[in-house]
Amino acid sequence: MSASRLLVTLAAAPLVQWPSLPSTAEGASDAGAIPPDAVHQLRIATRRLRALIDVFSPWLKPRWHRRLKNELRWLGQSMGPTRDADVLVSDTLPALRLEYPDVDWIAVDAHLSLLRSNARAQAGEALTSERQCALYARLVDAFGIREDGRADVRAAKALRRSSRTPGKRPRALAKHSHNVLRERYVALFPDCRQLAMLDTEQLHALRVKIKKARYSAEALTPWMRKSVRTPYQDTLRAAQTLLGQINDAVVAQQVLGDAPIAQEQRDMLAGRLDTIIVNATSRAAHVLCQLPDAHTLERGMRRG
């Protein structure tokens, strides 16, 4: 299969799963009018499409690549605060509430309710906007998605002409896939070997690199042998989860830092969250030690 055909085929799946969202004309003014499952599906679709656009950029017209990348980033960022607030409500703060029942949780809940409402309003405005509708229509045109959900490479408007891609070179797609896998792998070092020395901003940057490496490996599954691919992806997934817990703890510290509670209570909760960050960092360092060495990864790449 050519790179262009593979790209539009892979792009069809998340676009078919793109949820049907109400528009502002239908009276939807906040994310409360949008089912939680729809937001979750949209986050997954956005993530997968961004990975595909990144990995297969040589086969996309620069103007289309730039526009789709920027618009998908905007859509993903618009849902970020809502996701953070939901995790605080459902996971991070309930655990703290059990450990520290004497904290003024009524004040914390009121503060968080306002933040969550603002985040939902921001997400709702974006998800029900004409910009979101235009983005979906642009994605359908970009990858030639037909009404039955199948991709038609001849109708894909975002693809470069074959004369301007590496597609005619011998084993061009395999070489490109190997280069992407190597690049994403190398980008993880040396940070993944010195997690204890990284601050929370650096840990967040490493998490972004891990997500890129993981999603690239998922998109380029045919070029990795299962014996290497499975442990590699599992390691990246586990590390991403742990670094996500660190990010959630940092967000909780920021929210509680502004909450109208006694300074003593604020310091106590911040100290507990610091412990969570340290423990998750230690576990993430242990997980990342299980990454294959460069020679093993190289041997795990298929040549065809």
pLDDT tier, 270 (very low <50, low <70, confident <90, very high otherwise): very high
Cite the DSSP H helix spans in the chain: 3-16, 36-55, 62-87, 93-99, 105-127, 130-143, 172-186, 200-219, 226-258, 263-288, 294-299
Cα(270)–Cα(84) distance, integer angstroms: 17
Convert 173-185 to b/e letters by CB count within 10 Å (16 or more is b): bbebbbebbeebb
Q: Which amino acid appears at position 249 of this protein?
A: A
Per-residue pLDDT, 33? 64
Share of the chain above pLDDT 70, in %: 94
Three-state DSSP class for residue 9: helix
Whole-angstrom distance, CA of residue 207 vs CA of residue 216:
14
pLDDT at 43: 86
> What is the average per-residue pLDDT within 58-87?
92
Of 25-39, 68-82, 138-152, 216-230, the one with minimum mean pLDDT is 25-39
Of 115-119, 183-187, 231-235, the range with the lowest mean pLDDT is 115-119
Cβ pair 291, 138 in contact under 8 A: no
Average pLDDT over the chain, rounded to whole?
A: 89
Q: What is the pLDDT confidence band of residue 8, given thresholds at 50, 70 and 90? A: very high
pLDDT tens profile 98-120? 999 999 999 999 999 999 899 88
The pLDDT, as a whole number, for residue 27 is 46
Predicted confidence at residue 62, as pLDDT, reads 93
Contact in structure between 107 and 93 (CB atoms under 8 Å): no
Q: Predicted confidence band at 256 (pLDDT cuts at 50, 70, 90)?
A: very high
pLDDT at 259 (0 to 100): 92
Q: What is the DSSP string of 222-288?
A: GGB-HHHHHHHHHHHHHHHHHHHHHHHHHHHHHHHHHSSS-HHHHHHHHHHHHHHHHHHHHHHHHHH
Q: Report the phi/psi class of residue 144: left, alpha or beta, with left for phi > 0 and alpha for psi in -120 to 50.
A: left
Interval 71-90 mean pLDDT? 91
Confidence tier at 170 by pLDDT (50, 70, 90): low
Q: Say what the pLDDT of residue 169 is.
A: 64
pTM: 0.86
